[in-house]
Amino acid sequence: MDYSRFQTLLGNRARPETRWVADLAGVSQTVANGFLEEMNENLAVEETIRNTLKETGRTYYAQFPAPLELYGITRIVKPESIVESGVSSGISSAHFLMALKKNRKGTLHSIDYPTYSLKPKRSEGDISWSIPYGKDSGWVVPSGLRRRWKLHKGRSEDLLRGVLKEIRAVDIFCHDSPWTSRHLAYELETIQPYLRSGSIVVADNSSWNPAAVARLAAAFSTRVLRRGTSDLIGLRVP
C-alpha cells in the first residue's frame, strides 16, 4: 500500500506499524495489512478531515500518533464498546468511527475535558490540543460518522466510572489525555475490572508512568507492546 497520500493528510507518522497491529490483535501481518489497506476507501474522508482542520487557520494540533492503526485494530477485533480518553480535534475518534461504520456494530464512548481558545487567532499561551475559537471537542469528525459515537464532556476522574458501569465491559481502551503520572495510573486501574479476554489497551505518553502500565500487564500476565521507539504502547488481555 502506498501511504504517501496519508502522510500528506495526516503527517509523517501516518505510515502504520503493521507488526504492532498484528501482535496487538493476535493475527498475522498479512491479515493486519489487509485491513489497513481498506483505508484506501477512506481517502475522501481523510481529505474532508484535513480541510476542516485547515479552515481554523492553525497549522498544528496535538493528535494521536497512530490513527491508521486504530482503524486496523478496530476492524480486526470488531468491538462492541470502545472507550477513548482524550478527543481534542477528533482525529482518533474519526478513525475508530470509520472502522465501526465498516463493522456495522459497536459504539465509541469518548471522554474529553476540552480547553478552549478564547480568541479567533491562536496565541502563544494556547496549548497544542486546545479547541479553536468557535469549535468544540471532535470538531473534525464528519457528520456521517457520528451515529455510533457518544461524547462525554468532563474530567475522566468524574465520568469514566459511570461510562464503564453503563457498558459493563471494554473491548478497546485508548488513553490520550493530559500527560500526568497520576492520571494515567487512575485510568488504567479504573478500567482493569472491565477488561475481558481479547480486550486491547493502547496508551500514548506511557513514559509518564511506566510502572502503571507494567502493573496492568502483570495483572493479566501479558506483555507490553511498544510501537517502534515511541512511548505509544499497547497490550492485549489473553
Domain 4-236 has CATH 3.40.50.150: yes
Q: What's the distance, CA 186 to chain centroid?
A: 18
H runs (alpha helix) in 55-205: 67-77, 91-103, 156-167, 181-191
Count the residues in the chain: 238
Strands 233-236 and 195-203: antiparallel
The tens place of each residue's pLDDT in the chain, 238 residues long, gives 778 888 888 877 778 999 999 999 999 999 999 999 999 999 999 999 999 988 887 766 767 889 999 999 999 999 999 999 999 999 999 999 999 999 999 999 999 999 898 787 777 667 777 898 899 999 999 999 999 999 999 999 999 999 999 999 999 999 998 778 899 999 999 999 999 999 999 999 999 899 999 999 999 999 999 999 999 999 999 9
pTM summary value: 0.95
Rounded to a whole number of angstroms, the distance between the first and last alpha carbons of the chain is 30
